[in-house]
Structure 1
Amino acid sequence: MENLLNVPRVRIRRRGADKYPLILKAARALVAQSGFREAQMSSIADAAGLAIGTLYRYFPSRTELMVEVVKTTAQREVDVVAGIAMRDGTARDRLGAAAWTFASRALRGHRLAHALVAEPVEPDVEAARLVYHRALSRVFKTIIEQGIAGNEFPVQDAAASADCIVGCLFEGLVAPLTINPADPAPEQAAHATAIIAFCLRGVSGDSRPFSPPAY
């Protein structure tokens, strides 16, 4: 799969094929459970079953490890959304389905999604998150450009419209992502649906309601 985030991989010292995925899996699991703040190197080493010295041979600093967690997790999410965007159908349907895929996956993995969207982080980790925003925006931009070319959407600045969609999704989902998963999921889904309907009206001028696709 193409690296849609278009960023270089971290150069890891003495990386071994056996330990690297184990470390990333443990770090990602801790972020998904408690956020970036609680994912400390000692906790990650314990979760991975490694000595702390071994962990530092792979990742010389916690920031480097957190950046890699963001990059690998974001790449996976962007790949999934891009796969939806490339399906058959109208541009409006594909744009709605791609946005819904992002939103529904975020709601299901609410703690990890909140970390990737809104949790206060170090500047280097924030820079990696911004790359994630841009990569997701490029997926939406492509669909909008196709809609314009096919006379489905009015002429517009596709890049600006795509950025607005990403902004609506990221900001609009912050509050739902903080809700305990034991709370009623239909309310969160309805909120996400309303955000996507708003974005589709803005891009297409079509006021038809948005119905989440069934996969």
Structure 2
Amino acid sequence: MSDVLETPTGTRDRLLAAALEITREGGYGAASVVAIADRAGVAAGTLYRHFPSKGELFAELFRTVCSGEVEAMRAADPGPSATATARAEEVIATFAGRALHTPRLAWALIAEPVDPLVDAERLAYREAYRELLATLVRAGIEDGSLPPQDADLTAAAIVGGVGEALVGPTSPLSGAAPDAQEIVRALRIFVRRALGAARSDQEETG
């Protein structure tokens, strides 16, 4: 997922970058205060001069990473020249593809048990996705390419469904590496059907 914090400057940024690296490798549970401080090359006590707790550090990290992910989804949107369905597909396919590329980080962002402060950022992250998708659904309703529906409810259901679908493939307990291409293809079909869009030629042929 997000490429933020790749070139940290200053102790605070180094701590955030270290936390991100460890989370990518082993998840939230592996990122202890001692492990983060060691990776950043500082004493554990130094971390507490910049963050009151691990929860506060990760709340900021999740906020930064999730903001980057939302921007990546916006960048994936092909814009008004494409149908609302195609735009929604690209947004979700990009989200899923990035999650499957860094499964441990995605697992932490989506489903791993975390501090309540971090969980609040996770909820805000999902809300940002819902708002982005709801905007596309409304555009489809307005131009007649999608049937009338509650755009906010549909968007929330899609975001929730896609997140749930990625829990298994990104979980460290999943075993074999998931077929990312097949998962993304299936999620594209799910999005089209959830929106009530016409079946594509790909679906018709198998």
- Which range, TM-score by smaller chain? 0.7 to 0.9
The 2-side partners of 1:147 and 1:136 are apart by: 17
Q: Equivalent residue of 2:193, what SS?
A: helix
Asked whether 1:54 is paired with 2:46, we answer: yes
Deviates more, 1:97-106 or 1:123-132: 123-132
Conservation of the 8 A alpha-carbon contact between 2:111 and 2:167: yes
The 2-side partners of 1:121 and 1:196 are apart by: 29
The 1-side partners of 2:12 and 2:132 are apart by: 29
CA-atom RMSD in angstroms? 2.1
Q: Equivalent residue of 1:82, what SS?
A: helix
Matching residue of 2:88:
95
Asked whether 1:67 is paired with 2:86, we answer: no
Distance 1:122 1:181, change over 3 A: closer
Conservation of the 8 A alpha-carbon contact between 2:107 and 2:171: yes
Matching residue of 1:31:
23
Matching residue of 2:167:
174
Conservation of the 8 A alpha-carbon contact between 1:168 and 1:195: no
Alignment of 1:114-133 (within 5 A): 114-133=107-126
Q: Which runs of 5+ in 2 are unaligned?
A: 1-8
Note the C-alpha offset of 1:69.
Answer: 1.4
Q: Equivalent residue of 1:206, what SS?
A: coil
Residue in structure 2 matching 1:110, options 84, 94, 103: 103
Conservation of the 8 A alpha-carbon contact between 1:85 and 1:143: no
Q: Equivalent residue of 1:119, what SS?
A: coil
Matching residue of 1:162:
155
Q: Which structure has greater helix proportion?
A: 2
Matching residue of 2:130:
137
Alignment of 1:75-86 (within 5 A): 75-85=67-77
Q: Equivalent residue of 1:37, what SS?
A: helix
Distance 1:194 1:135, change over 3 A: same
The number of residues matched between the two structures is: 194
Residue in structure 2 matching 1:147, options 140, 146, 159: 140
Runs of 4+ in structure 1 off by over 3 angstroms are 179-185
Q: Which runs of 5+ in 1 are unaligned?
A: 1-16
Amino acid at match of 2:160: G
Normalising to structure 2: TM-score of the pair? 0.87
Q: Equivalent residue of 1:173, what SS?
A: helix
Matching residue of 2:6:
none
Note the C-alpha offset of 1:106.
Answer: 0.3
Distance 1:74 1:171, change over 3 A: same
Q: Equivalent residue of 2:190, what SS?
A: helix
Note the C-alpha offset of 1:145.
Answer: 0.9
The 1-side partners of 2:172 and 2:115 are apart by: 24
Note the C-alpha offset of 1:178.
Answer: 2.4
Amino acid at match of 1:108: H
